[in-house]
Amino acid sequence: MASEGEQQEVKALGLWVSPFVRRVEWALKLKGIHYQYLEEEDLFSNKSPLLLQLNPVRKKVPVLLHHHKAIGESFVILEYIDETWTHNPLLPQHPHERALARFWAKFCEEKVFESAWNALCSIGEEEKEKAVELTKEALEHIEGELKGKKNKFFGGDEIGYLDIAIGWISYWLPVWEEVGSMSILDPIKFPNIIAWISNFLNHPLIKHNLPPRDRMVNYFHGRRKLLTSTPHIKNGVQGGEEGVKLIGAWDSPFGKRVEWALKLKGIDYDYVEEDLPKKSPLLLQLNPVYKKVPVLVHHQKPIAESLIILQYIDDTWKHNPNFCLLILMGEPPQGFGLNSPTTRSSKLV
Ligand SMILES: N[C@@H](CCC(=O)N[C@@H](CS)C(=O)NCC(=O)O)C(=O)O
Dist CA 135 CA 114 (whole Å): 8
The pocket around ligand 1, CB under 6 angstroms, is made up of 15, 18, 20, 43-44, 59-62, 73-75, 236
| E strand or H helix at 316 | helix 306-316
The residue contributing the CA closest to ligand 1 atom 17 is 44
Indicate which atom in ligand 1 lies nearest the CA of residue 18.
10
> For a substitution probing ligand 1, which of 13, 38, 47, 60 has the most ligand atoms within 8 Å of its CB?
60
Alpha-helix residue ranges (DSSP H) falling in 166-212: 168-179, 191-202, 204-207
pLDDT tens for each residue of 214-256: 999 999 999 999 888 765 444 444 445 467 899 999 889 999 9
The Cα diameter of the chain in Å comes to: 67
**Atom 6 of ligand 1, residue of closest alpha carbon:** 60
How high does pLDDT run on average in the chain?
Answer: 87
Q: Whose CA is nearest to atom 1 of ligand 1?
A: 73
More confident residue, 237 or 137: 137
- What is the mean pLDDT of the segment spanning 156-183? 98
* 42 half-sphere exposure, CB direction, 13 A CA radius: 5
Among 180-184, 238-242, 318-322, 329-333, top mean pLDDT goes to: 180-184
pLDDT by residue (tens digit) across 262-296? Answer: 888 888 888 888 888 888 888 888 888 888 999 99
How many Å lie between the centroid of ligand 1 and the Cα of residue 61?
5
CA 173 – CA 185 distance, rounded (Å): 8
Instruction: Specify the higher pLDDT residue, 275 or 117.
Output: 117
